[in-house]
Amino acid sequence: MPSGTYGFMTDSALRDAPSESEPASGHRSGLWALMLGALGVVYGDIGTSPLYALQTVFSIDNGAVRPTSGDVYGVISMVFWSVTLVVSVKYVTFILRADNDGEGGVMALAALVRRVLGDVRGKAAVAMALGVFGASLFYGDSVITPAISVLSAVEGLKVSTPGISHLVLPIAATIVALLFVAQRWGTHRVGAMFGPVMVVWFLAIGVAGLGEVLRKPGILLGLSPTYAGAFVLDHPYIAFIAMGAVVLTITGAEALYADMGHFGRSPIRRAWFAVVFPALTLNYLGQGALILRDPKSVTSPFFLLMPGWARLPMVILATAATVIASQAVITGAFSVSRQAVRLGFLPYLRIRHTSPQEIGQVYVPAVNWILFAGVLALMFGFESSEHLATAYGVAVTGTLIITTALFLVVARAHWNWPMWRLVVFAVVIGGAEVTYFAANLTKVTHGGWLPLLIAISVFTVMKTWERGREIVTARRNAKEGPLPEFIEKLREKKVTKVPGTAVFPHPGKQTTPLALRANLDHNHVVHEHVVIVSVSSENVPHVPVAELITVDDLGYQDDGVVHLTVRYGFQDEQDIPAALRMAASRSERPRSELLDIDPDNASYFLSRGTLRLTDEPGMQRWRKKLFLALAHNAASPAEYFCLPEARTVVMGTQVDL
């Protein structure tokens, strides 16, 4: 069973400022392929921000930011330096160095912090709570991103084909519905198209921006940070409010880190500096130049940047790009859910692997349909991307702050950064992010409460499940009794043994599986071969095959009872029958550790405790009811561990909660 703890990370999972990683093949063709893949998956969200970011800036507070030269230069400067500091400096230059065995993301970073802090339990617990809350904020982002991205793209029809403006919402809803329905078939079938589409997208938005920059090259002055400073000094309140919309230009930055394991550090960095950063900069500059030339273009600066003949094709391309951006976020939600289950923060969920080659490509039906319902509710509730923008940003900025705080702990405690460097990073990067977060708090009453509500709800569910499991495990252990005593009882009594192999999935080897005890107490028999299998979910993405299985004869070699520990990374599929086949395979195991069993004919016995609500201390009653509801709707452990249904038996007893 997933242990739900974070204490198993190997030392190899934590690296001292790792060096640049290249593709496994070592060939330049492999690097280009990974760069292309990164463009299609990693940069979908941030790459489509130009659709709505500047339009939102100039529409906030009934046009508080005006299309004057001072305001335009100030906004362009704020946008450029926001992207530069948060994405180019923080994520691409520094955060990508803090990897967990090659994987990234806020939960992986929290696991690194726990490993660094060691036995400082109070601080480590706070770090893990921050990581869980950061993951919870990601779910809020996963609901809003598809809604605002697809809506903003389809709204281009209002510019290219005004006559069908009334169909924008139905068309957007249909696209979203098709996107979520298609999840069951996996992304690998269309994944090869994502990279080329995004290359065309970035080239198109870069060229469109460049054309307007050439018409008004003075807009390049906006790259100077002095204009951002002057804007803040001249209009401090308006600049503060504007920052709540400027932050839309860096949404999706967390994906650089979260998807690092799929593509590697070097391809992500090179794709950013070679393609994405220049294209985004040119497009934002072009939109700024257009607004200066034609102030009325603030209503839709992105699409008005295009010549008339190109607007409808751009709507189609933008829709494809936003679908890709949404796909990346949805896939990320599946991955986060899978990791949360592995680490003990969510109950068993039905997880389908959609690719025979890539174990990380999964489909989680429950998460998919919850997200779909949330996205549709947002689209029909807010009706436009402009209104949705008021709810966007709180979750993003919250995650940015959490990532920075956790990174500073790693930088100080493990990389031994000097205090002056920590202070500079905290003041420059952290200070900007805190300002973004504060500016977005002004949106709370206008829709910003939504991602916070989603995050708090998910956080409550995760922490309730974690705490409930601790209580149930402790009370269940008391019923199970010590395993060594049970084995001694088997040796002392003449117990009837029946032919075959019985496999008992169980959390550890300290206590006796309920199903094993029940089989002896009620049927008065045990199987000739008894294998107790404990699954350990490690805080690394993948466990090497050589370290996957540990066999323990529990003190005796002649009683037919052995304990098998199977270690899985949080990206690995927990397949117990496959582990047994490996343990019984002469080609996989040394002869001294070989199990003399027939794994293909083994029977599986699941221990299940029927939960009963009581007034025992440990959790508030409402949290106990929530835990019971989660447990009732959890997927079957048999499916989770890939057990054959025809050879699986469920046995157990009642456990008080």
Domain co-membership, 240 together with 174: yes
Phi-psi region of 351 (alpha: psi -120 to 50; beta: other; left: phi over 0): beta
Instruction: Give tens-digit pLDDT for 576-601.
Output: 888 888 877 755 555 555 567 777 88
Q: Is residue 456 part of a domain?
A: no
246 and 291 in one domain? yes
CATH number of the CATH domain containing 188: 1.20.1740.10
Query: Is 0.85 topped by the overall pTM?
Result: no
Cβ-based neighbours of 383, under 8 Å, separated by 6 or more: 169
Q: Of 400, 417, 441, which residue sits at a domain end?
A: 441
**Reduced DSSP (H G I as helix, E B as strand, rest coil) percent helix, strand, coil of the chain, to 5:** 65, 10, 25
pLDDT for the residue 100? 67
Q: Give, to the nearest 10 degrees, the angle between helix 365-382 and helix 168-181.
A: 170
- Regarding whether 208 and 113 lie in a shared domain, the answer is yes
Count up the domains in the chain and report the number.
2
**Domain limits for position 552:** 473-656
307 part of a folded domain: yes
Q: Are residues 435 and 477 in the same domain?
A: no
Question: Helix crossing, 225-234 with 69-82: angle to 10°?
Answer: 120
* Separation of alpha carbons 336 and 330, rounded Å: 10
Instruction: Answer with the one of 420, 441, 462 that is the final residue of a domain.
Output: 441
Question: Are the beta carbons of 177 and 352 closer than 8 angstroms?
Answer: no
Q: Are residues 308 and 383 in the same domain?
A: yes
Are residues 486 and 403 part of one domain? no
pLDDT value, residue 23: 40
- Residue 47's nearest CA partner among 320, 331, 361 is 320
**Helix residue spans in 89-167 (DSSP H):** 106-117, 121-154, 157-160
Go through 435-469 and write b for each residue having 16 or more CB atoms within 10 A of its CB, e for each that does not. bbbebbebbeeebbebbbebbeebbebbbbbbebb
Q: At which of 393, 421, 441 does a domain end?
A: 441
Q: Could you tell me if residue 85 is inside a domain?
A: yes
Are residues 515 and 87 in contact, defined by beta-carbon separation less than 8 angstroms? Answer: no
- Phi then psi dihedrals of residue 119, to 5 deg: -90, 10
Residues facing residue 562 across a β-bridge: 531
| Locus of tokens 């689209």 | 379
- What pLDDT, on a 0 to 100 scale, did the predictor assign at position 15? 33
Calpha distance 450→447 (Å, rounded): 6
Q: In angstroms, rounded to a whole number, what is the distance separating the alpha carbons of residues 148 and 375?
A: 9
Q: List the structure tokens of 154.
A: 């389809």
Q: Which residues of the chain have pLDDT under 50?
A: 1-27, 356-359
Q: Let me know if residue 455 belongs to a domain.
A: no
**512 and 433, same domain (yes or no):** no
Are 563 and 420 part of one and the same domain? no
Distances, alpha carbon 573 to alpha carbons 197, 205, 534, 568, 582, in Å: 31, 40, 15, 8, 14
Q: In terms of DSSP bridges, do strands 525-537 and 561-568 run parallel, antiparallel, or are they unpaired?
A: parallel
- Residue labelled with tokens 């990693």: 42
Residue 316's identity, in one-letter code, is I
Q: Report the C-alpha gap between 516 and 652 in whole angstroms.
A: 9
Q: Does 228 fall in a domain? A: yes
Residue 517 has a CB neighbour count (10 Å cut-off) of: 21
**Residue 380 counted as domain residue:** yes
Closest listed residue to residue 301, CA positions, set 476, 36, 51 = 51
CA distance 73 to 229: 11
Residue 395 and residue 528 in one domain = no
Residue 308, domain member (yes or no): yes
Domain co-membership, 403 together with 513: no
Q: Are residues 490 and 436 in the same domain?
A: no
The residue length of the chain stands at: 657
- 491 and 435, same structural domain? no
User: Is the residue at 16 inside a domain?
Assistant: no
Sign of the alpha-carbon dihedral angle for 587, 589, 594, 597: negative
* Inter-residue contact 173 to 15 (CB < 8 Å): no
Cross-strand bridge partners of residue 650: 606
